[in-house]
Structure 1
Amino acid sequence: MTTSTAGHPAVAPPTRPAGVVAVVAHRKKTLGGGLDELRASLVAAGVGRLLWYEVPKSRKAPRKVRKALDQGAELVLVWGGDGTVQRCADALAGSDVPMAILPAGTANLFASNLGIPADLSEAVRIALHGRRRKLDLGRLNGEHFAVMAGAGFDGDLIRDADRRLKGRLGRLAYVWTALRHVRGDLVRTRIRVDGADWFDGEASCVLFGNVGTITGGIPAFDDARPDDGALEIGVSTASGAVDWARTLGRMAAGRSEDSPFVRVTRGRKVRVRFAAPKTYELDGGARGTAERLKVRAVSGALTVCCPAL
């Protein structure tokens, strides 16, 4: 056995590929030489049995993950961006079957936070021979997330940075969309953290972070770790262009807590109540609106293939 940097046990790297390996791929995403190169690489690596599933949309991925598990998959390789990864992580949570990320999306924040490069050959090597880490997930209204979740300004931004805009502009899509939402309305928001009242006032955005770097590559939560059994919780009271320019500037500089419009804390269970329905999102995917959010950290919920220390 080896030990992770946070003291949690990590299974030693395997000496050979798992006997049954599944690929769940968003067929519209690209990386390196594409899915043909991936298949060739896995065959050349000596994978005993390869299960192959391609989906046209990330929301169709969980069904394929469950099918792979039913077929005895010992390792699931996920080809796509954060949306596909989140959907697959939700299906794999609690299964103990490792997930490997092949970062082929517009945004690959979970992969980049874990040090997994957008390089196909290296990502495959990590998938087959990297160390296995037990990592936390967040859970919001019954669905797991790996990077972050949010509501309000953040949810509106994600909802409107549609697939076509992201395809043309990449991460700039979030910046472009943010400029359209800087006048987002404040709404009465009540937040309880681990059973105690923490915030009660007008707010424009609430965030829950499992890792430090969030949407658009912004380092929002300096102390976040995906293996500490807790979530970072942030609330913003910024309400106009000037407020948001100051807030995003502090966040981009890694000094979120210095903003007069931001409060940050840490906890395991969170309850949020809005005076009016707010759009919420998980890992860059909009989910709709809600007046109440029930959020918690799920310790060690997912095993992920990561680079060696």
Structure 2
Amino acid sequence: MRTPRKVAVIAHQRKTLGGGLDELRRLISDEGVDELFWYEVPKSKKAPKQVRKAVRKAPDLLVVWGGDGLVQRTLDTLAATGDGAKIPVGIIPAGTANLLATNLGVPADLPGAVQNAFHGERHKLDLGVFNGEHFAVMAGIGFDGAMIQDADGKLKDRMGKLSYVWTGLRHLDGPTPQAKIKVDGTDWFNEEASCVLVGNVSRITGGINAFDDAKPDDGWLDVGVATARNAAEWARTMGRMAVGRSDDSPFVHMTRARRIDVKLREPLTYELDGGSRTAVKKIRVEVAPGAVKVCVPRQRSES
């Protein structure tokens, strides 16, 4: 694999890692690139416009500095423009949870992440498509969506990963509306649900495997529904997830599908890769196989 000569960087100005953005620029220049295009954004939702600018430069590598939110916005834009499988993405995990980077084995230190971006394996990954928007990690509605919405912003900046614990405790007794779910066109679930998750990878915040068998390159999405209604039932559910398999819990239903349709009795907020979105009552989630190319450690593809 030849070393990238033309590199574009999409950077979240408020995220930090190692020596910061100045050190990132130095490490990239040490790789001997011919052209470097640099785009900074104050928040993740400002990224798509800059990604489209970067794509027009036809880079050999797109480096993304930030958390899961910025990575999600970037991959969504690349997939939507049809450039996802053309331009490899190197993730610099400068966010709070960094779930996609963790699941892919991307080094957590700045030099290691840059080394991986330039010299790692270019690996095609699936994406999920939630009501038209792509995600790489997971989508959640109900308890998960409400928790992320409350943690987003200043609270997450101040408390980091603890913000999810704090807000999660506040929503343990949240609403459990009737949910009708079809998987690949077949009726699958029709009960009250406190949370519906669709995952492309296995591990979530805290290192817990929510989807034990999920793989981001198998052409499938994993689906989980939680029916826990109070703190005691949630404690049993999370405890089982921490020490065993998620589907061993009596309050969890799980399956696998390429398309998931959900109808809720009342609208609930949802999240994509840790970023909150507005409330909806109807959901369609589909898999987009091999939609993007991401840089991963070489031993991953050789194992």
Q: Which residue of 2 aligns with 1:201?
A: 191
Separation (CA, whole Å) in 2 of partners of 1:89 and 1:264 = 26
Describe the SS at the equivalent of 2:14: coil
Note if 1:210 corresponds to 2:200: yes
The counterpart of 2:32, out of the listed 46, 59, 74, is 46
Give the letter aligned to residue 61 of structure 1: A
Note if 1:23 corresponds to 2:4: no
Contact 1:279 1:289 in 2 (8 A): yes
Note if 1:170 corresponds to 2:176: no
Q: Which residue of 1 aligns with 2:56?
A: 70
Moved more, 35-44 or 224-233: 35-44
Moved more, 274-283 or 159-168: 159-168
Note if 1:258 corresponds to 2:248: yes
Contact 1:175 1:216 in 2 (8 A): no
Note if 1:156 corresponds to 2:142: no
Contact 2:176 2:194 in 1 (8 A): yes
Describe the SS at the equivalent of 2:139: strand
Give the letter aligned to residue 262 of structure 1: V
The counterpart of 1:180, out of the listed 167, 170, 175, is 170
Moved more, 251-260 or 24-33: 251-260
Contact 2:91 2:117 in 1 (8 A): yes
Separation (CA, whole Å) in 1 of partners of 2:239 and 2:278 = 28
Give the letter aligned to residue 192 of structure 2: E
Describe the SS at the equivalent of 1:249: helix
Contact 1:235 1:263 in 2 (8 A): yes
Quote the RMSD (CA, aligned, Å). Answer: 1.0
Cα deviation 1:251-290 (Å, max 9, x = unaligned) = 2224211111100000000100000001111000011100
Note if 1:138 corresponds to 2:128: yes
TM-score, with normalisation over the residues of structure 2? Answer: 0.95
Q: Which residue of 1 aligns with 2:258?
A: 268
Matches within 5 A, 1:103-118: 103-118=93-108
Separation (CA, whole Å) in 1 of partners of 2:23 and 2:74 = 22
Separation (CA, whole Å) in 2 of partners of 1:71 and 1:254 = 47
Contact 1:234 1:265 in 2 (8 A): yes
Aligned residues: 295
Note if 1:57 corresponds to 2:43: yes
Report the Cα offset of residue 176 of structure 1.
1.1
Report the Cα offset of residue 171 of structure 1.
1.2
Report the Cα offset of residue 216 of structure 1.
4.1
Cα deviation 1:81-129 (Å, max 9, x = unaligned) = 0001100010112412111100000110000100002111111111111
Separation (CA, whole Å) in 1 of partners of 2:159 and 2:107 = 21
Cα deviation 1:46-100 (Å, max 9, x = unaligned) = 0110000000000011111110111222211000000011000101124121111
Fraction of identical pairs, as percent: 60
Separation (CA, whole Å) in 1 of partners of 2:261 and 2:206 = 26
Describe the SS at the equivalent of 1:219: coil
Give the letter aligned to residue 281 of structure 2: E
Give the letter aligned to residue 39 of structure 1: R
Cα deviation 1:4-62 (Å, max 9, x = unaligned) = xxxxxxxxxx232x221000000110011110011111112101100000000000111
Separation (CA, whole Å) in 2 of partners of 1:122 and 1:183 = 42
The counterpart of 2:20, out of the listed 31, 34, 38, is 34
Contact 1:135 1:301 in 2 (8 A): yes
Give the letter aligned to residue 73 of structure 1: P
Q: Which residue of 1 aligns with 2:67?
A: 81
Contact 1:222 1:254 in 2 (8 A): no
Report the Cα offset of residue 163 of structure 1.
2.1
Separation (CA, whole Å) in 1 of partners of 2:92 and 2:164 = 22
* Cα 1:210/1:254, change in 2 over 3 Å: farther
